[in-house]
Amino acid sequence: MTETEFKLLTVARLLRERYGRHAPPLETQPDDPLDELIHTILSQQNVGVVTQRLFDAIKQNFPTWRLALEAGSEQIQRVLEGAGGGLAAVKSRSIHRCLTQILELRGELSLEFLRGVSLTAARAFLEDLPGVGPKTSGCVLMFSLRLPAMPVDTHIHRIAKRLEFVAVTASAPQTQTWFEAQLPQTWAARYEFHVNAFQHGRETCKSQRPLCASCVLQTLCPSAVDWL
């Protein structure tokens, strides 16, 4: 085992001891993958509570995705604006274009078929959809399809740079590629790491004033002294 692999496993263990999050059992029902895709598009530059409000508003106005498709992107935009979210025009266009392409390619508005394909094939299909990048596809792969992807959001990206797992200039997709090469291959291990690292970034390794003095990773972190 390399020094970096050992450090990453130690970080995963310390975060588990601190936050204690574990992946849900495989027999529990995962979210619908198309719902997860739309939810993730809505989450861009939004906090969780706003994302859920936007998603609920869409579901309330369009009980099926076909109704949303038939209503058109301007109508979706009006619903998003009514629910108080930002970037309503961009997101409504993305949602409508995704629905259009899925229907064209599959003949139905469903992504359930992705449960039967490999991680590589599922990722390729998702990232071919308009406006879907590595983070959005990673969320669908991990949270709904339960495949061992490793979506990297702003919190996890920041932690990876401060721990010097990746260069300070690394992009989020590069950091995602690094984690996917280094973390244990199982979905459960990656799910647990993702959830714990996200919580650590939100509560402790904050963007502006990280709480290094109380951080469980302090002795492993080259950036700690800068913030103490």
Sequence letter at residue 206: K
Query: Is residue 165 close enough to count as binding ligand SF4 by CB under 6 A?
Result: no
Give the footprint of ligand SF4 on residues 197-226 (CB under 6 A): 204-205, 210-212, 215, 217-218, 221, 223-224
Q: How far is the CB of 173 from ligand SF4 (least distance, A)?
A: 21
Given the complex with ligand SF4, which of 1 and 225 has the nearer CB atom?
A: 225
φ/ψ (deg, to 5) at 211:
-90, 65
Let me know: does 150 contact 180? Beta carbons within 8 Å. Answer: yes
Query: Is residue 166 close enough to count as binding ligand SF4 by CB under 6 A?
Result: no
Query: Is residue 227 close enough to count as binding ligand SF4 by CB under 6 A?
Result: yes
d(CA 194, CA 196): 6
Query: Is residue 175 close enough to count as binding ligand SF4 by CB under 6 A?
Result: no
> ∠40-179-225 over CA atoms, to 5°?
105
Cβ atoms within 10 Å of 125's Cβ, excluding its own: 19
| Rounded (10°) angle between helices 88-106 and 33-43 | 160
Stretch that binds ligand SF4, among 31-39, 64-72, 135-143, 158-166 (CB under 6 A): 158-166
DSSP state of 32: P
Given the complex with ligand SF4, which of 126 and 217 has the nearer CB atom?
A: 217
Query: Is residue 162 close enough to count as binding ligand SF4 by CB under 6 A?
Result: yes
Q: How far is the CB of 165 from ligand SF4 (least distance, A)?
A: 11
DSSP conformation letters of 36-58:
HHHHHHHHTT--HHHHHHHHHHH
Q: How far is the CB of 156 from ligand SF4 (least distance, A)?
A: 11
Contact residues for ligand SF4 (CB under 6 A)?
Answer: 159, 162-163, 204-205, 210-212, 215, 217-218, 221, 223-224, 227
